[in-house]
Amino acid sequence: MLSKPCSALSLCLVSLDFRLLSYLVTTVDEGSANRAAAVLHISQPALSRQLRQLEGQLGLTLFQRQGRRLVLTRAGEQFVERARDLLAQADAVERTATSLASGRLTSMRLAAPTTTLTDVLAPFLATLRADDPVPTVRELDPDGALAALTGGADLAIVTRPPGRALASRPLAVLPIWAYVSAEDVWAGRGQVDLAELVERDLVLMTESFRPRGLLDAAVEEAGLSYGTVLECTNAQVAQALAAAGRGVAVVSDDARFGLRPLGVLGPRGPLWISLFAAWDPRHHAADVLAGIADRLAAFCVDRYGEEVSAGR
């Protein structure tokens, strides 16, 4: 433990009690000391003492106490993000030590966009062998592969080529679909030209999603513009709205709700979205992660056909 307060910018990490950091983050996430104490299986007074002890170590006031509520100060808001990073790094160190001691990668953390997680990664995980690392999965950090890996992921699946600092492997090239109901006048078609598509009411993802960005780029290149657009932040909801007759859903998800998929023809041909696996080349089990990426690429071909092969 620290014998005297230290600046938050010059923490002695060897002496810092990571248990107290965990208490801090849990209190912030739960929104109150009472709920955090229940999650941590300690009494609320004991938790409050631990938080005051952390403040004393840091020489910072992390919370303003408003009655029974704890509200983060400005310094507390900044410090809690550093605490999250430290806890993630400590967990990664522990997992690395466990893997090294066992002589193999015993667990792996995966990060993927929501659509990829549901349609590709989850089915792939069902094929893992008993001797494969035990996976845990979370949604991809919006800032991409590097942020996900820095945040504790071992392997990230992304829709843009990762930076040169990362090891990577192309996984698949998947189509962007225009989904219509079985009763729609287009239901019997296999594809639709972009110029026709923008004349219809559309259900699109918001601009932060890669399929929407690719569609927007194609529309701009073709000199076209949208008519009526309903935006969503979830591709399954977009399909549900299409099934309810609210428009044509343009997403990269697998078909749901009995909808019919149509390929979208842009100025350069069909619209596709690329998937890449990325990992830190310095990872102690980089070879294992590369092997997982190879198997995931093969799984995509088995699931969707040779036409999605990244090497086509």
Q: What is the pLDDT of residue 236?
A: 93
Q: Which helix (H) or strand (E) holds 17?
A: none
Instruction: Please name each of the domains of the chain with its CATH number.
Output: 15-93 (1.10.10.10), 104-173+273-308 (3.40.190.10), 177-270 (3.40.190.10)
Given a cut of 50, the residues of the chain with pLDDT beneath it are 1-15
Q: What is the pLDDT of residue 105?
A: 72
Q: Which long-range contacts (CB under 8 A, 24 or more apart) does 95-101 make?
A: 96/284, 99/284, 99/285, 100/284
37-92, pLDDT tens digit by residue?
888 888 888 888 888 888 888 888 888 877 667 788 898 888 888 888 888 777 77
| Residue 7 buriedness (CB in 10 A; 0-12 / 13-18 / 19+) | exposed
For residue 113, give the nearest of 213, 219, 245, 26 by alpha carbon.
Answer: 213
Tell me the HSE value of 274 on the side-chain side, using a 13 A CA sphere: 12
Q: Which stretches of 60-208 are DSSP H helices? A: 74-102, 114-116, 122-125, 145-150, 194-197
Tell me the HSE value of 175 on the side-chain side, using a 13 A CA sphere: 20
Q: What is the pLDDT of residue 147?
A: 87
